[in-house]
Amino acid sequence: MDMKKKLDEFNAVKERLSFGGGKAAIEKQHAAGKLTAWERMGLLFDPGTFKELDLLAKPFKTGFDIDNRELPRDAIVTGYGTVNGRKVYASCYDYTVSGGSQGSMQMMKLVKVMEQARKEGLPYVAIIDSTGRRIQDRFGKFGYRVPIRVEDCGEGNIDMFCPPMASGVIPQISLMLGPCYAGTAYCPMMSDFLIFRKELSFMSVASPTLLKSATGAVVTQDEIGGALLHATTTGSADLLADSDEEAIAQCRQLLGFLPSNWTEKPPHSETLDDPQRLEEELLFLLPAEEDKPLDMHRLISLIVDEGQLFEIAPLYARNMVTGFARLAGQAVGIVANNGMVAEGSLDANGCDKEAHFIRTCDCFNIPLIFLVDSPGFLPSLEQEQGPDGIERHAAKPVFAICEATVPKVVVYVRKVFGSSRLIMGGRGMNVDSVIAWPSVRFNFGNYPINEPDASGAVMAFEEVIDPRETRPILIERLHRLSGKLSESRPWRKHGLIQL
C-alpha cells in the first residue's frame, strides 16, 4: 500500500472540508460581520491546541433532495483544546453549511463531545449560530431517533439529556453568536452561563414568520428573542458582547474563575495587589445624608484585586449585583445590594438572580461575599400579585444560602432592614462570618436600632470593623475558612427549591 498516496488523498479531503460551506458562504458570513466556526474555535482555544473530532462525519440519508448536497461535518465543529493552559471541550455550529441547521448526525456529535467533557471532568463551551432543526432530517428516515445507545443519552432529543446530567458537575457556557430557534434553544438554556452577541444573536422558540402564520402577530426578531430583551427582561443573557471576538474573550475570562469540575477548587491567580491594602476612601464612601444611595460598585472596586469585578447579568434586576472577583488571587462570588437602583430594595427578579448565582458558586466551590445595604422589600401591589407572589421568590435565596456549603462571609455596610437579613445572609443561616461597619443600621420588626453595640449585643454580627480594613479582613476570613471541612447534609435525592 502506498501510504504516502493515501495520506495525500486524505489531506486533500481535509483541505476541502476545511472550507465548510464553500468560499462564497464564508464570504457571506464575513460580510454579515460574523466569523466562521473554525475561526471562532481558533479564538476560543490557545493557539495551535484545538483538536477537531469527527471531521469526516456526514448527515444520514433522508430520502429528500438534500441528500445530494455535501454538508461537511453535518454543520458542526466539535473538539477540544486548552484555554489558558486548561483543557476544555467545545462545539460550534457552522452557519456556512445549511445555516448550521441541526441534523441527526450533528446531534450525535454534540452528545459525544458533551458526554466526553462530563466523563473527563472538563468544561464545555457551545457556540450557537443555527437556523434550527433541519426539516428534511426531522421527517426523513431517522427523524429524532438516531442510531445511538438511548440508554446512555436518553431517547428523542438526545442532546437535551446531556446538559442536565452535566449540571453541577462541569461548567457549561453557551455563546449566542447568531440565530437560535426552536429545538436548538433548549440546550443552551440549560447552560450555567449564556453570552449573547448584540444585534446578530436571537433566541426564541418561534421565528417572527412562524408567529405571524400561527397567530397573526407581527413582531421583530428583537421583540421576541433579541440579546437586549434577554439581558434586561427575561434574565437569560448573563453577558452581552458587540462582536464574536468580544464574546469569546468574555468566555475565556469567565472560565478563569471556574474550576474544571465540582471536585476541584477554582484556579488561583497571581496578583501584585497588596492583601493588606487599606482604603481611606472607604471612610468617606457613605453619603452624609442617610437617604442618599451608596455606590456599591465603587465599594467593590476598592476591596477586590485590581478593582476588577466580572459582573454577571449586569442589566437584569439591577438592584442586585452579582459577579466574580478575586481576593489575594482567590476567586470569590460577590452578592451586593445596588443602592443606585430602587435604593437597593429587594424584589422577585433580584431574588431569582441572587439565588441562581449562589447555587452556581456553591456548585463550583467558589466562596461567597455578601455586601448588605438594603431597606428590604418595598411594599408593592405588583410584587404581591405578580406571578407566584413575592414570598415564593423571596424563599429562593434563603434556600440557596442555607443549602450552600462554601465559605460565606457577610458584611453589613449600612441598612439591614426587614427581610434583608434573610435574603442577604445572617445568623441562623449557616453563614460562617458576619461583620459590620460602624454605620450599620438594623430594623427588627418596626423598631430601628441604629447603634452597633445594641445590634451586636444580640449577636446580629460578630465584629465591628474599620471600613478601611475590609479587604484585609475578608482575605483573612477566607484564609481561615480555606480548611473548612465539608458540611454534612441529610441524605436525599435533591432539595425542592421553589422554582
Q: Are strands 320-327 and 310-311 parallel, antiparallel or unpaired?
A: antiparallel
Q: The pTM is what?
A: 0.92
**Sole residue written with cell 495525500:** 8
Q: How far is the C-alpha of 109 from the C-alpha of 78, rounded, in Å? A: 7
Of the two residues 73 and 185, the one the predictor is more confident about is: 73
Nearest one of 332, 303, 335, 339 to 322, comparing CA atoms: 335
Question: Mean pLDDT, to the nearest integer, of 32-44?
Answer: 96
Nearest one of 298, 185, 200 to 246, comparing CA atoms: 200
Topology of domain 280-481, per CATH?
Answer: 2-enoyl-CoA Hydratase; Chain A, domain 1 (3.90.226)
Domain extent listing, the chain: 7-255, 280-481
Q: How far is the C-alpha of 88 from the C-alpha of 79, rounded, in Å? A: 9
Q: What is the tens place of the pLDDT at every residue in 215-268?
A: 888 888 888 888 999 999 999 999 999 999 999 999 999 999 999 999 999 999
- Note the maximum CA span of the chain: 90
| Beta carbons within 10 angstroms of residue 263's beta carbon | 10
DSSP 3-state of 92? strand
How far lies 369's CA from each of 249, 285, 424, 477, in Å? 26, 19, 10, 10
Q: What share of the chain is helix, strand, coil (3-state, %, to 5)?
A: 40, 20, 40
Model pLDDT, residue 70? 81
Q: How far is the C-alpha of 442 from the C-alpha of 341, rounded, in Å? A: 20
Half-sphere exposure of 9 (CA within 13 A, CB side): 5
> What value, to the nearest 5°, has the Cα angle with vertex 379 and ends 375 and 381?
150
Whether residue 336 contacts residue 371, with contact meaning beta carbons closer than 8 Å, is answered with yes
Q: What is the tens place of the pLDDT at every residue in 213-230?
A: 888 888 888 888 889 999
3-state per-residue secondary structure call for 57-79: CCCCCCCCHHHHCCCHHHHEEEE
Residue 351 has pLDDT above 80, yes or no: yes
Q: What is the tens place of the pLDDT at every residue in 302-335?
A: 999 999 999 999 999 999 999 999 999 999 999 9
The average confidence (pLDDT) of the chain is 89
How far lies 74's CA from each of 112, 129, 142, 162, in Å? 14, 14, 15, 20
DSSP 3-state of 369? strand
Q: How sure is the predictor about 142, in pLDDT bands with cuts at 50, 70 and 90? A: low
Instruction: Tell me which CATH code domain 7-255 carries.
Output: 3.90.226.10
Residue 64 has pLDDT above 90, yes or no: no
Torsion over CA of 230, 233, 387 and 191, rounded to 10 degrees?
A: 30
